[in-house]
Amino acid sequence: MGHGGNVIDELTTDHREVEEIFSRIEALPVGDPQRKELADQATIELVRHSIAEEMHLYPMARRCLANGDSVADKELEDHSAAEHIMKQLESCQADEPAFDRLISFLMSEIRNHVKDEENNLFPRLRQAASAAELDEMGEKIRRAKKTAPTRPHPATPSTPPVNKILAPGTGLVDRARDALSGRGKSH
């Protein structure tokens, strides 16, 4: 499954890519330094994905679904919890005891979030929005991911319009830091 298509296809592809990274982490022995590299890759993908959802998907849910505000608020709470875990993981090395606890917790949280989105939110949006709206939203999501931050910033706003203003600048700084440090690049 490649990137492209409507918003649901795009986000489902992201989910599968992150799950693949999680599986690779689980296959390595505890303390293996590659687990940290993979956790950094997962964080980059999760942050970009979350920012794009916060900018476009959840406002769409608020507009299109009968109880859209409560759905979007719950999803934002999930993102906030995951972002705090990722921020803690950022300063942990793979051989530290906290790393295994945090990565296990993150994987559990993300897997539950993905299951909820794919079983509840996505089918409801598919029914509530037109194919053209879903396609347009897929394109917006892809554009947002290109400029989104790559590091967790739990203190920044997660709702429009502030997140749409801050995300591209923060993303530029994050990508520069990643390029200088080599973060997220497999060796």
Residue 86 token pair: 């990722």
pLDDT digits (tens, 9 = 90+) for 18-75: 999 999 999 999 999 999 999 999 998 998 898 889 889 999 999 999 999 999 999 9
Kindly report which listed range (56-70, 92-106, 140-154) carries the lowest average pLDDT score. Answer: 140-154
Tell me what pLDDT residue 158 has. 46
Cβ 122 vs Cβ 12: under 8 Å: yes
CA distances from 37 to 106, 136, 152, 169, 186 (A): 15, 34, 16, 25, 7
State the fold for domain 7-181: Four Helix Bundle (Hemerythrin (Met), subunit A) (1.20.120)
Spans of all domains in the chain? 7-181
Quote the strand ranges of the chain, DSSP E: none
